[in-house]
Amino acid sequence: MRTLAKLSRSTSTYDFHNQVVVITGASAGVGRATARRFARAGARVGLIARDSASLEETKAEIELAGCTAQVHAADVADANALVEAAEAFERGLGPIDVWVNCAMVTVYSPISELTAEEVKRVTDVTYLGYVHGTMAALRHMRPRDRGTIVQVGSALAYRGIPLQSAYCAAKHAIRGFTESLRCELIHESSPIAVTEVHLPAINTPQFDWARARIGGRPSPVPPIFEPEEAADAIVHAAANPREREYWLGRSTAQVILGNMLVPAFLDRFLARNAWDAQSADESGHEHTRDNLYRSERGLHRTRGSFGRQARGGAMLLPGNATRAAAVVAGCVLSAGIGFALGGLLESRNGETSRRRIEERER
């Protein structure tokens, strides 16, 4: 079983020199932090997002560190736009080695108040954006028979929660699509690697610009981690893509394993606790700015507004090994309980037999 890896930006070393890495959603949050991290590892970075000005800011940050970046403004919901972006990066940076799908939008709202158009938009960006990015990458990776695709997922890819139905559904869909792709690559004996990184709550601008109908500003459910923790995990996954998936943080593992074991309990637990936990205590807050259909200027940064609650030191867990460890631990626990109960019953049966013998002798 693989050792669980605790990533540290001061000690982790990755070498992506002379490699081309493309990142969607690269103008803010996890995508922007990931672009910086790949650049520090020596990669030439292709940046995709809707807002060209913010992409230029990210590019300037990377070039200030002496690294190379190229931007391509595109909405990931547009499949042709991502094909064009991939071709532009191939011409400007060189053959694409790694493609990271990270772009997303969401709506915080009860299902009863969602519109069909909002659900479609979240699906077009958060799910189909990954499909479009993956297909654009494969157009160039397949002829060369090499490359790595990293899908940035979430604990919510395994467990739906209230108020984020469209986002949870999209993340579930990404996992299904990626599993199908992985099977096909294995069938073809293709060396192209695909891996997933499932994240916990991350302190990004998502909570400042997501559309919301929850009576206040959206809030991440603790524990909350900084985007740089996610970026380290994504770079680690790209460097070690043969691991099927990674879970960042104990909370992610708890959600995934808990949903495997006690989904009905989680239904009730989340119904009681996850509603209020996703709304910051800001009575009368008017959440009027959102980036659902257009880029929201002035909020493109790496970190969001929850820095005081955010922390570092997230544990990165290999999904297969962690799942296997949980199963083994469960079997050992069950066996232990079985032996204990068996011993107790045997003791009681022995005592009953002894008493019967004594009664007969009397």
DSSP for 97-162, please give it: EEEEE-----EE--GGG--HHHHHHHIIIIIHHHHHHHHHHHHHHHHHT--EEEEEEEGGGT---T
Cα–Cα distance, 164 to 175 (Å, whole number): 17
155 vs 114, 158, 201, CA distance in Å? 22, 6, 9
Q: Which helix (H) or strand (E) holds 70?
A: strand 69-73
Handedness of CA 275, 281, 284, 285 (dihedral sign): negative
Q: What CA–CA distances, in Å, run from 112 to 55, 109, 240, 248?
A: 36, 8, 42, 32
| Beta-ladder partners of 22 | 46, 99
User: Which is the catalytic residue, given 108, 158, 167, 246?
Assistant: 167
Look up 167 and say whether it is catalytic: yes
Are 243 and 234 spatial neighbours (Cβ–Cβ below 8 Å)?
no
Q: Which residues contact 282 (CB under 8 A, 6 or more apart)?
A: 216, 217
Supply φ then ψ for residue 199, to 5 degrees: -105, 155
Signed CA dihedral, 344, 349, 350, 355: sign only: positive
Residues carrying an active site annotation: 167
